[in-house]
Amino acid sequence: MVMRGMIAGALAALLATTFAACAVEPDAAPAPEATASPAAGSSSASPSASPSATPTPSPSARPKPEPKPSPTSGPRLFGKGDSGDDVRDLQARLKQIGWFNAGVTGFYGNVTTEAVSGFQAKRGIAVTGFVDQTTLDRLHAMTREPTEAELTDAPPPVPAGKLDPRCLTGRVMCIDKSTSVLRWVVGGTVQTSVEVRFGSQELPTREGRFSVFAKSRDHVSSIYKTPMPFAMFFSGGQAVHYSPDFAANGYNGASHGCVNVRDYAAITSLYDQVNIGDGVVIYWS
């Protein structure tokens, strides 16, 4: 009986040790899933979005920036076709800041229009080519009062030349091709001398003795659609007139056969003195 009791006790101890080893927990529990479980009653198996997340709008849903309004121009103060002291002051000021590289003539032509347009575009002003108060105020703020020399922009002295004998009597515009000079001669005495430019080899200025048969202060060429201010016609469509292109580019060009003058003040005065019927002599000395 004692032996049987000892065997039974040993067997019970062995069984207790075996079941204790099976009950040991693992070293680390498995990590929980990163996504939350669906809410109770939900039929979807996918996780719900985080309450703090902000949805990113699609590109088409994003508000577009409003376009900046285009600048508007004020009333026109002066512009293409005008002339006078205001234009002369404008040209001198534009020249101070490198926007106008032609001669200061006081005539508002294509060259001045392009210069004003460029100035306006650079400063964010409505590009019109004419001067309004905004353009004028901005230009004055950037420049100083022009000097007398800047306003007159006096051309170099006209070279001397020999008068043709046909110029010695009456009232004659005596035009010397050899020196590119026009002399206004009355009774054999030179009243005015100005530099002039002639036509090209393909469109030459005619030579000989002519008479002024028509005048047109604000003439525009019907063929070339270009301005011919203070035109004094002497042979068909050829005339003595002011040329903005000659004023801007000098002898780096030619007329279409006319006699171009680049001194605005001189041609203005000459136009007022010359009458219909006065002579025109074009020659080589």
* pLDDT tens-place string over residues 235-265: 999 999 999 888 888 888 899 999 999 998 8
Residues 139 and 235 reside in one and the same domain: no
Structural domain including 208 reads 165-283
Query: Considering the entire predicted model, what is its pTM?
Result: 0.50
* pLDDT tens-place string over residues 196-236: 999 999 999 999 999 999 999 999 999 988 899 999 999 99
With a cut of 50, list the residues of the chain below it in pLDDT.
Answer: 1-2, 7, 11-51
Amino acid at 18: T
**Predicted local distance difference test score (pLDDT) of residue 29:** 40
Are 212 and 274 a contacting pair, CB within 8 Å?
Answer: yes
Residue 55, domain member (yes or no): no
**Predicted local distance difference test score (pLDDT) of residue 104:** 86
Residues 110 and 192 reside in one and the same domain: no
Residues 119 and 186 reside in one and the same domain: no
Residues 211 and 138 reside in one and the same domain: no
3-state secondary structure of 81: coil
The domain total for the chain is 2
C-alpha to C-alpha distances, 205 to 42, 171, 175, 200, 284, nearest whole angstrom: 99, 21, 11, 8, 12
Non-local (6+) Cβ contacts of 92 within 8 A are 104, 146, 150, 151, 153
Are 112 and 57 a contacting pair, CB within 8 Å?
Answer: no
